[in-house]
Amino acid sequence: MKTTPDEWVARIGHVESATGGFFPGVGARVRGKPLHHHCRERRWFDLYLFALTGRQFAPNEIELLETLWTYTSYPDPRIWNNRVAALAGSSRASAGLAIGAAVAVSDAEIYGMGPGLASYDFLARYVDATDDDLQDAIATTLKRDRRLGGYGRPVVSDDERIAPTIARARALDLADGPHVRTALRIERHLLEGRWRMRMNYAAIVSALCLDLGLTRDEYACFTTTIFLGGMPPVWKAARQDVAGGLFPIPTSQVHYDGHEPRSWPR
């Protein structure tokens, strides 16, 4: 979408926002609603989704989306994005810097957002495909990209989050949408074919979000912070431990094939 100079001129000196506004000493509004009145009996996650999408989700939908965050909040400093938060704590960086950097690292190509968006796009495109067309799309994508977003896992084949997530969605009567069914069909084709790849968390999350009507941008924003719950505890633990004591690497363990040691002029 191109912007004309006249549109820029019209915005000089003020900000137009459909999401809300702050009025000092009076209050704030979110999507046209008075924040403190509208949210006095609502959960934070309810507000989060309403502000992001402009939609009021049903209680079971809010419960499911919050569950998707909860089930991937692993407080393990070895996980790639948590490691950034923990290393920041070990170097005594602030909580804001640590968590902000860790969230930014979640926007990765082979972990986190990359597979999630690839899975979202694939499911959205092939949700109505026949089994034959779906098989062809899977084979074409794997041949071209050597991977399929939302399927396969580098450490172990099974993803321990899938079964409890589907069980929770089923308990909330949200497990039988067309995108979830397509995600399961894809897994069946992969297991019956020569690939032997199982679904990972990206596929079930993108399928459930699609069935709940999240747009691609809303999905991207929602999943960018899906790992957040594990970051503050690893930052705190590393900060309270020996400074620089997380993942220390002695020089004897570093393979170096550059220049030999040499003298530098004073």
The owner of tokens 């003020």 is 14
The Cα–Cα gap between 220 and 121 comes to: 11
- pLDDT for res 1: 62
The Cα–Cα gap between 51 and 58 comes to: 15
For residue range 160-174, list pLDDT tens digits in order: 999 999 999 999 999
Half-sphere exposure for 242 (CA within 13 Å, toward CB): 5
Query: Is residue 22 over pLDDT 80?
Result: no
Give the C-alpha distances (Å, rounded to integers) separating 245 from 16, 86, 91, 241, 248.
48, 10, 9, 7, 6
Indicate the DSSP class of residue 259: P
Average model confidence (pLDDT) across the chain? 91
- Out of 65-79, 84-98, 108-122, 202-216, pick the least confident: 108-122
Query: Is residue 81 over pLDDT 80?
Result: yes
CB atoms within 10 A of CB 88: 25
For residue range 97-130, list pLDDT tens digits in order: 999 999 999 988 888 889 999 999 999 999 999 9
- Out of 54-63, 193-202, 223-232, 256-265, pick the least confident: 256-265
- Which tokens is 86 given? 């923990």
State the average pLDDT over residues 37-61. Answer: 90
- Which tokens is 142 given? 């794997």
The owner of tokens 């321990």 is 160
**Band of pLDDT at residue 264, cut at 50, 70 and 90:** confident
With CA atoms as reference, report the closest residue to 108 among 86, 79, 146: 79
- Residues contacting residue 244 through CB under 8 Å, at least 6 positions apart: 90, 91
Q: Which one is predicted more confidently, 72 or 13?
A: 72
Query: Is residue 63 over pLDDT 90?
Result: yes
Amino acid at 127: V
Is residue 232 within a helix (H) or strand (E), and if so which, with residue range? Answer: helix 231-239
Domains observed in the chain: 19-56 (no CATH), 113-224 (1.10.230.10)
Counts for the chain of helices (H) and strands (E), in that order: 13, 3
